[in-house]
């Protein structure tokens, strides 16, 4: 993404791909909202942006000279990800 500085065509192309990813995941989050599975204070698009941000964060984390173990990453991701959703053992999907 840093290579997009001074390269407006590349920036635009990446922005379009990012928008497609966000829009697609937003549709999934809308389904979850309609099923009362997405926390009511979240919009489907904000939840989609958050999920994609967490996934992109893995790329950054792998550049660390002292990276965390895969298990630690997975635990942190599951904890953060689960914060988006309503947990109900009686919920039928």
Q: Is residue 45 part of a domain?
A: yes
Q: Is residue 74 part of a domain?
A: yes
Structural domain for 66, as ranges: 2-82
pTM of the model as a whole: 0.78
Q: Is residue 61 part of a domain?
A: yes
- Give the pLDDT band (50/70/90) at residue 93: very low
Kindly compute the dihedral angle of the four CA atoms of residues 75, 71, 47, 59, in this order, to the nearest 10 degrees: 150
Tokens describing residue 3 = 């290579």
Q: Is residue 60 part of a domain?
A: yes
- Residue 69, judged by CB atoms within 10 A of its CB (0-12, 13-18, 19+), counts as exposed
pLDDT digits 0-9 by tens, 39-75: 999 999 999 999 999 988 888 888 899 989 999 999 9
Q: Is residue 32 part of a domain?
A: yes
Cα 44 from Cα 82, distance rounded (Å) = 15
Q: Is residue 89 part of a domain?
A: no
Q: Is residue 59 part of a domain?
A: yes
């Amino acid at each position: 993404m840093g290579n997009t500085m001074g390269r407006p065509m590349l920036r635009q192309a990446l922005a379009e791909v990012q928008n497609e990813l966000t829009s697609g995941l937003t549709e999934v989050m809308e389904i979850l909202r309609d099923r009362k599975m997405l926390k009511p204070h979240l919009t489907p698009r904000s939840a989609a942006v958050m999920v994609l941000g967490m996934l992109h964060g893995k790329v950054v984390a792998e550049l660390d000279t002292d990276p965390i173990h895969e298990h630690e990453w997975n635990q942190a991701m599951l904890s953060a990800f689960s914060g988006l959703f309503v947990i109900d053992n009686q919920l039928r999907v």
